[in-house]
């Protein structure tokens, strides 16, 4: 089998050929992994039956050995024959146990007792073991960068226009604040994924025939897997648990897309404030050998454009008729792609931001270009604070004049007789700011520190 026979970009390009992420994804998000987790759930059922006194210890031992013998391939071949994937899995286990154990395999369970539980389990474990550590690593990368650059003055931009000054660290602290919160919400929603052992329509019909307290039986069995049961089940668990999880993932991805866009824009030829590091053998363009393109940031944005719309599928999959129709079956098989796309993008961004080149000279140059006009804001507010009755409008006109006459705003205001009475009342620090707008960065430094400190503590990061 040649991976280039695949049609999914994950399978031929972004996942299987990406050694950094391959193993982690394979162990949780591949089909192989799903079958492994389903076998685990079937075994746990036998364990629970044994704990309930419904089957002998030998059934547990046999099943435990049997599931190690079942390969994904076997299950698929059996499914080809009988056209039912979980029954195929069950048959495969049964082949490896004694007649005595046979009846306890999948006993009183419905397919989705197994599938729902296995899916929740793998997403939960992937999140705990792989995703969260990576997200924290990325948060650390951002925090390190922000703290290093907390005093690097940069012009703040709104509408793509120079506004008032900030620091580069402060601009990153936005992403630290937004992104870190999604680490928490991804973690919590993953912990909140549920299993079930409630039967064909969720009313524990079959379980009730044999088990004293099927609700407690389900709870105990789920505890063995470190899961909680769905508050209510039909044939399937409530769809909102996984929907919340995917929502948090895609929401977090949106923040990365925003960050990537900012970085792409700061990398524009005219701005040049940051740059991706380029390998020495790396080709920027097949035809323009001089190009240094922000391809990693572009890739993250592009992946987001592909993944984000899939949230709609989760909204559609909320609707399942009565105690369930199967129209969420094929669609939910694609959820691993969503998670993988996100995980790969975080990994990519972590790499590129760890080695991000900051061009201080360009930051200063860009700042200086509009520095004079920056003081319009503090000036108008200072005038207002001195009870100028129409400060905003007055400064607006002064700015127009400055542009029209191509004169420096600071010069104009100092020469303006009508402003004298107000200017004279300003404090020394205020006058300094009017002279040197680089001082007009407000709390950029302190706010950066506060946010970084908060999240270092909250996420227990080592920075």
Query: What part of residues 332-351 is at the interface with its own copies (CB under 8 A)?
Result: 333-334, 336-337, 340
Question: What whole-number distance in Å separates Cα of residue 416 and Cα of residue 329?
Answer: 73
Question: What whole-number distance in Å separates Cα of residue 305 and Cα of residue 285?
Answer: 23
401 binds its own copies (CB under 8 A): no
Name which of 225 and 409 has its Cβ closer to its own copies.
409
254 binds its own copies (CB under 8 A): yes
The footprint of its own copies on this chain (CB under 8 A) covers a number of residues equal to 194
Name which of 64 and 450 has its Cβ closer to its own copies.
450
Specify whether 106 is catalytic.
no
103 binds its own copies (CB under 8 A): yes
315 binds its own copies (CB under 8 A): yes
Name which of 129 and 318 has its Cβ closer to its own copies.
318
Question: What whole-number distance in Å separates Cα of residue 337 and Cα of residue 189?
Answer: 18
Question: What whole-number distance in Å separates Cα of residue 421 and Cα of residue 317?
Answer: 68
Please tell me whether residue 164 adopts helix, strand or coil conformation. strand
Q: Which residue out of 26, 64, 98, 285 is catalytically annotated? A: 285
Name the nearest CA neighbour of 183 among 249, 257, 227. Answer: 249
148 binds its own copies (CB under 8 A): no
461 binds its own copies (CB under 8 A): no
Backbone torsions φ then ψ of 212, nearest 5 degrees = -60, -55
Among residues 63, 152, 235, 350, the one that binds its own copies under rule CB under 8 A:
235
Binding mask 17-56 for its own copies (x = CB under 8 A): x-------xx--xxxx--x------------------x--
The answer to whether 197 and 220 have CB atoms below 8 angstroms apart is no
Length of the chain: 463
Binders of its own copies in range 361-380 (CB under 8 A): 366, 369-370, 373-374, 376-378, 380
Name the nearest CA neighbour of 343 among 20, 116, 17, 119. Answer: 20
End-to-end CA distance of the chain: 44
Specify whether 159 is catalytic.
yes
99 binds its own copies (CB under 8 A): yes
CB of 58 to its own copies, least distance (A): 13
Buried b or exposed e, range 256-267, using 16+ CB within 10 angstroms? bbbbbbbbbebb
Among residues 184, 201, 224, 423, the one that binds its own copies under rule CB under 8 A:
201
Among residues 216, 277, 415, 443, the one that binds its own copies under rule CB under 8 A:
443
CB of 180 to its own copies, least distance (A): 9
Question: What whole-number distance in Å separates Cα of residue 82 and Cα of residue 290?
Answer: 59
Q: Which residue out of 159, 269, 290, 427 is catalytically annotated? A: 159
CB of 280 to its own copies, least distance (A): 8
422 binds its own copies (CB under 8 A): no
Conformational region of residue 442, where left means phi above 0, alpha means psi within -120 to 50, and beta covers everything else = left
Look at the alpha carbons of 180, 185, 186, 187 in this order and tell me if their dihedral is positive or negative.
positive
The answer to whether 5 and 56 have CB atoms below 8 angstroms apart is no
Among residues 61, 132, 144, 164, the one that binds its own copies under rule CB under 8 A:
164
Please tell me whether residue 154 adopts helix, strand or coil conformation. strand
100 binds its own copies (CB under 8 A): yes
Backbone torsions φ then ψ of 161, nearest 5 degrees = -105, 150
Among residues 24, 42, 119, 174, the one that binds its own copies under rule CB under 8 A:
174
Binding mask 112-131 for its own copies (x = CB under 8 A): --------------------
Q: How many CB atoms lie within 10 A of CB 84?
A: 13
Burial tier of 314 (Cβ tally within 10 Å: 0-12, 13-18, 19+): buried
Backbone torsions φ then ψ of 368, nearest 5 degrees = -60, -35
The answer to whether 304 and 254 have CB atoms below 8 angstroms apart is yes
CB of 18 to its own copies, least distance (A): 11
Stretch that binds its own copies, among 62-70, 121-129, 130-138, 322-330 (CB under 8 A): 322-330
141 binds its own copies (CB under 8 A): no
Among residues 120, 294, 350, 352, the one that binds its own copies under rule CB under 8 A:
294
Among residues 313, 414, 423, 461, the one that binds its own copies under rule CB under 8 A:
313
CB of 347 to its own copies, least distance (A): 14
Under DSSP, the state recorded for 426 is: S
358 binds its own copies (CB under 8 A): no
Stretch that binds its own copies, among 37-45, 127-135, 210-218, 410-418 (CB under 8 A): 210-218
Question: What whole-number distance in Å separates Cα of residue 237 and Cα of residue 185?
Answer: 20
Instruction: Name the residues annotated as catalytic.
Output: 159, 285
């Amino acid at each position: 089998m040649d991976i280039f026979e695949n049609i999914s970009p994950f399978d031929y390009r972004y996942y299987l050929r990406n050694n950094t992420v391959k193993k982690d994804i394979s162990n949780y998000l591949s089909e192989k992994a799903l079958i492994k987790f389903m076998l685990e759930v079937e075994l746990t059922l036998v364990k629970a039956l044994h704990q309930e006194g419904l089957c002998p210890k030998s059934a547990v031992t046999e099943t435990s050995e049997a599931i190690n013998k079942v390969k994904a391939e076997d299950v698929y071949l059996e499914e080809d024959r009988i056209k039912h994937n979980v029954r195929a899995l069950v048959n495969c286990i049964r082949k490896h146990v004694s007649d005595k154990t046979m009846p306890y395999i999948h006993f009183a369970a419905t397919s989705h007792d197994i599938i729902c539980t296995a899916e929740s389990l793998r997403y939960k474990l992937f999140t705990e073991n792989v995703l969260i550590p990576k997200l924290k690593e990325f948060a650390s990368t951002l925090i390190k960068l922000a703290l290093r650059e907390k005093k690097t003055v940069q012009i703040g931009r709104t509408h793509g226009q120079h506004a008032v000054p900030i620091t580069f660290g402060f601009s990153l602290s936005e992403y630290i604040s937004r992104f870190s919160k999604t680490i928490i919400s991804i973690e919590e929603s993953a912990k909140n994924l549920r299993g079930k052992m409630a039967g064909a329509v969720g009313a524990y019909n079959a379980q009730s025939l044999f088990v004293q307290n099927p609700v407690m039986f389900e709870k105990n069995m789920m505890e063995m897997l470190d899961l909680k049961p769905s508050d209510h089940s039909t044939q399937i668990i409530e769809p909102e648990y996984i929907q919340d999880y995917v929502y948090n993932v895609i929401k977090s991805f949106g923040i990365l897309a925003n960050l990537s866009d900012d970085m792409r824009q700061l990398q524009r030829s005219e701005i040049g404030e940051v740059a991706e590091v380029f390998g020495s053998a790396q080709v920027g363009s097949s035809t323009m050998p001089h190009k240094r393109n922000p391809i990693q940031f572009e890739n993250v944005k592009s992946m987001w454009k592909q993944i984000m719309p899939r949230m709609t599928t989760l909204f559609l999959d909320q609707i399942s008729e009565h105690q369930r129709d199967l129209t969420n079956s094929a669609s939910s098989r694609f959820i691993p792609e969503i998670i993988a796309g996100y995980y790969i993008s975080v990994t990519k961004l972590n790499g590129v931001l760890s080695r991000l080149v900051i061009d201080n000279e360009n930051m200063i140059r860009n700042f200086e270009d509009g520095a004079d006009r920056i003081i319009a804001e503090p000036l108008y507010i200072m005038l207002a604070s001195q009870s100028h009755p129409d400060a905003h409008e007055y400064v607006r006109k002064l700015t127009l004049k400055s542009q029209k006459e191509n004169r420096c705003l600071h010069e104009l205001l100092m020469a303006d007789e009508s402003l004298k009475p107000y200017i004279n009342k300003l404090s020394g620090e205020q006058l300094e700011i009017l002279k040197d707008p680089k001082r007009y960065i407000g709390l950029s430094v302190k706010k950066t520190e506060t946010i970084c400190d908060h999240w270092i503590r909250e996420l227990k990061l080592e920075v």
